[in-house]
Structure 1
């Protein structure tokens, strides 16, 4: 259904993503792809001639803003054997990665994700997916791509990223991603789980190199995310001017204070390490990646708990895309783990909607159920403020005013 036909969602409870109290028995009017009216259904009867004629009954459901996943990998390199055929762990070709990205984009939307930030792709195909989902040619969320991760020679992500050494090469790497169509840039400040011959705590790109990338990003009116596990690497990335820290497994109190002072958001991606431990080996992930992930579980959750208590802005991101952790499939797990880290139900909802949209730089366009914003909405069978599993009970999704019935079968 195209947005200009218009429709109303009536009699559901709206939780608008701003932190305001839920609005029961509400009505949301969608016209020309945007939210035209929000309020109590009784204040605008179904037969009101000034509103859209088509009404969708959301009785018993909760209507929230579309979810925003701040860390995904649409065109993941690892094949899921049950879909692509054996063996598990086979690397997809470039063309297969793009097809995989299209399928994952469709699944993301059906899971309630209307915005995603793609933080690393081995192929330029992610930029095409971003363009086609924007026009509605391909069903999927709004995609904010970073292109290839910028890393040191042999560093985290080097098999699929853009290797560079020194600030001059870092500038060129940044400019290449911007030229290709990036909306964000990503740097590797430390080692990671899925790269061989390195520890999570290894220090990689230095402050000068990362600052060179930040300078190029700011010149193009965009921001930089840093893959960073160890406190020394996180601290250097913050000093360099990045706007989000991805993972943050080992946070000291000093670094937590630094994040707060600089207004840098944390995207913890708690669920990816759980899934690597539980499913990684069976789905073809490297044994060393699973072992490093197991070592990270306890300190990671402890770090995020202390970050929440310390006032760090924590937003939703899954690091999903691999066969062990597909996009949209583990939204509930990530949100449950954020609750386990000490966030309230309303904090969790905002972290996945309004707060996430603000951090991603699209808060003026989406993230809350407010008049004038894009009609990015999700109807849930249940109340996510009472039971976090309700995020997995998606009844239907609206993205840019286009209605997607989740009940429709998908291959």
Structure 2
């Protein structure tokens, strides 16, 4: 039986098991993803202290499907739990927790683990339904300290409990809990029952309150905003005048100018002098840079920003970003970042996304016909967007007229390669840049591949290793890229995680930083990327190594490459730079890509991207020398932006993340 048939068989089995187990007292929740009804969450009681659950939603052909069973002790702690199904990437999941006397036994992607368990800690599953969140909320409401210990380690804490009466008269409470993830966990309760969870684009709402979802979201949004504003007030250090003394300065040539004093005034670089060459005025803030490296603030050239992730960008030394698909309220968020109302980077490029209809549509902005697409481009232009990103469900025959419209308005065109097209075809029809290295590899496979589906990952994983960099087909493609000045945005770090990591093992992408994160974030680093087994393990790794070889070759051939993440801000960016060096690009060239060249590409070289007199003091101080050891890029002590100083240790601490020191 092949994997696809097995997948269908298991899914049918799970669904069948669910339909046989469901009880008449079932509570049903709607699952809304990106404002579309995407699935459901159902729970029912099976015995006095045992419950059953079913949870599923879809996102462009991906999405979880779980059947779950939980038994509780008299104190409401989980003593038995079983989860079967498939995670977001359709990886089969069979997880369990059981307890007997003073022992807990867990079986999950990490293997089988046994430890001391006295029934007063909460086992928080790796994969599964929202059920454990409801159990946590019930426990934390009963706790005298507002804390609940996790098994085998960790602690969660209730930060706020806020009562509300909704406009329909319903009384609810919003719990704000920290200790699980980077962002606080928000759980809406009615008594001891969970009625709603809202986390970014994913909303889970009890059906009888579905009409109140947007009202509850607006309330939660305001609370989130106030919390972030408080962080900004507490962790922003205003600088009028400062001297970064005796520091090694990264130059436009990609070298280090040693033992310099960099004088900053009113958010700009006033002077760069040899240390000791001029007396320092009294009252000026002095920052010791001895033995450290001063770099321009870096550019993440592939982001999708929200109000929570701005802190991580700055903590990681990223002061400017391109946003490559978001909602149409993005400029409001950018203004909050600019005013330092919420901590975040400068959003310097806005790219509006357009996708076509169908089951795999991106859901952010779907058009039904070409005329709607042309109108959307005009709409984005009117909002001040500089770029259009086309997605996988765009019909191939729409690409040329959409690109022509964008170009007429002075906008660039980029994106995924639409299904049933090749990169060559997309470039010849108007693309100015391509997102993701897998889209280049698909160019050499076929124009019959449905890239709306996970095939856009699995086909390059299986066949990418066969790409011949000496072939005429490859050379012709490189010539096309250079002749048309096509920009490539590889995001190789996400493909390392997809292709190389294995289920239950710490991904090499996150190996250097995993233990710095809260428990749920740590666990995501063991999820294994796309499913792989047997010969696929070595095959997929070979394909990733070929991706690195292509990135290095693109650089040698003069194709413009920009570092971007499309994922975990800061940390994934550092890994992206490390991988470029691993591929064979000199570290100083990689750092120039991250700063000087990105500033040039975004049209901001006259303001930022280099440490030069008159430019904005968007700066980062590194406790090391990333030119000699690129991994030192992780050792950022502080970031300066807009006349403000932000200490990485303080920023990370606000998220429950440990700093590098």
Taking structure 1 as the reference length, the TM-score comes to 0.77
CA drift at 1:280:
8.7
CA deviation vs aligned residue, 1:129-155 (integer Å, no higher than 9, x gap):
112112222111011454552122238
CA distance in 2, matches of 1:346, 1:155: 44
> 2:552 aligned with 1:347, yes or no?
no
User: Aligned partners of 2:607 and 2:485: how far apart in 1?
Assistant: 21
> What is the rounded CA distance, in whole Å, between the counterparts of 1:274 and 1:371 in structure 2?
39
| Residue 300 (structure 2) pairs with residue 69 (structure 1) | yes
Partner in structure 2 of residue 163 of structure 1: 366
Would the aligned equivalents of 1:3 and 1:30 in 2 still touch at CA under 8 Å?
no
For 2:531 and 2:375, the matched residues in 1 are separated by 33
Report the Cα distance in structure 2 between the residues aligned to 1:328 and 1:356, rounded to whole angstroms. Answer: 16
Q: Is the 8 A contact 1:170 1:210 kept in 2?
A: no
Question: Which residue number in structure 1 is paired with residue 385 of structure 2?
Answer: 182
Cα deviation for residue 165 of structure 1 reads 5.8
Following the alignment from structure 2 to structure 1, what is the Cα–Cα distance between the partners of residues 498 and 587?
Answer: 26
Q: What's the secondary structure of 2:493's corresponding residue?
A: helix
Any idea what SS the aligned residue of 1:102 has? coil
**Residue matched to 1:133:** 337
Match of 2:646 among 404, 407, 411: 404
Q: Give the structure 2 partner of residue 323 of structure 1.
A: none
Structure 1 match to 2:479:
257
Aligned to 1:234: 423
- Cα distance in 2 for partners of 1:39, 1:151 equals 52
Paired with 2:399 and 2:597, the residues of 1 have a C-alpha distance of: 25
Question: For the pair shown, which has the larger CA radius of gyration, 1 or 2?
Answer: 2
- Give the aligned partner of residue 360 of structure 1: 602
What CA distance in whole angstroms lies between the structure 2 residues aligned with 1:287 and 1:166?
A: 38
For residues 213 and 389 of structure 1, do their structure 2 counterparts lie closer, same or farther at Cα, with a shift above 3 Å needed? same
Q: Is contact 2:498–2:528 with CA below 8 Å preserved after alignment?
A: no
In 2, the alpha carbon distance for the partners of 1:62 and 1:331 equals 18
Corresponding residue number in structure 1 for 2:562: 315
- Give yes or no for contact 1:66–1:376 (8 Å, CA) kept in 2: yes
Partner of 1:59: 290
**CA 1:288–1:7 in 2, change beyond 3 Å: closer, same or farther?**
closer
How far has the Cα of 1:70 moved from its partner?
0.3
CA distance in 1, matches of 2:243, 2:598: 26
Alpha-carbon contact 1:335-1:348 (below 8 Å) kept: yes
| Displacement after TM superposition at 1:272 (Å) | 0.9
More strand by share: 2
| Structure 2 CA distance for partners of 1:5 and 1:244, relative to 1, 3 Å | same
Contact 2:268 2:615 in 1 (8 A): yes
Structure 1 position 63, deviation (Å): 0.3
Residue range with higher mean Cα deviation, 105-114 or 158-167: 158-167
How far did residue 73 of structure 1 move? 1.9
What is the CA–CA distance in structure 1 between the aligned matches of 2:588 and 2:294, rounded to whole Å? 14
SS at match of 1:137: coil
Higher deviation after alignment, 65-74 or 159-168? 159-168
Taking structure 1 as reference, are residues 371 and 160 closer, same or farther at Cα in structure 2, changes over 3 Å only? farther
**Bigger CA drift: 280-289 or 251-260?**
280-289
The verdict on how the C-alpha distance between 1:44 and 1:256 changes in structure 2, with shifts beyond 3 A counting, is farther
- 1:31-46 → structure 2 map (5 Å cutoff): 31-46=265-280
Assess, with a 3 A threshold, how the Cα gap between structure 1 residues 400 and 61 changes in structure 2: closer, same or farther: same
Deviations along 1:285-339, one digit per CA (max 9) or x if unpaired, are: 999956699586344323223212322111211111xxxxx11122221111111
Compute the RMSD of aligned alpha carbons.
3.3
Structure 1 pair 285–226 and aligned structure 2 pair: CA distance change class (3 A): farther
SS in 2 for 1:339: helix
Residue 398 of structure 2 corresponds to which residue in structure 1?
209
**TM-aligned CA deviation for residue 223 of structure 1:** 2.5
Task: Give 2:178's aligned residue.
Answer: none
Q: Tell me, yes or no, if the aligned pair for 1:231 and 1:255 is still in contact at 8 Å.
A: no
302-311 or 338-347, which deviates more? 302-311
Greater shift after overlay, 226-235 or 38-47?
226-235
Q: Does 1:112 align with 2:112?
A: no
* 8 Å CA contact 1:66, 1:397 repeated in 2: yes
Structure showing greater relative contact order (alpha-carbon pairs closer than 8 Å, 6 or more residues apart)? 1
Residue ranges of structure 2 left out of the alignment (5+ in a row): 1-235, 444-473, 505-522, 656-661
Q: Note closer, same or farther for the CA distance 1:285–1:118 as it changes in structure 2 (3 Å cut).
A: farther
Q: Where in structure 2 are the equivalents of 1:6-21 lying within 5 Å?
A: 6-16=241-251, 18-21=252-255
Alignment correspondent of 1:243: 432
Question: Which secondary structure state, in structure 1, belongs to the residue aligned with residue 570 of structure 2?
Answer: coil
Aligned length: 360
SS where residue 45 of structure 1 aligns? coil
| Partner residue of 1:225 out of 414, 422, 427 | 414
Does the 8 A contact of 1:230 with 1:248 survive in 2? no
Map 1:146-157 onto structure 2 (within 5 A).
Answer: 146=350, 148-154=352-358
Aligned to 1:305: 552
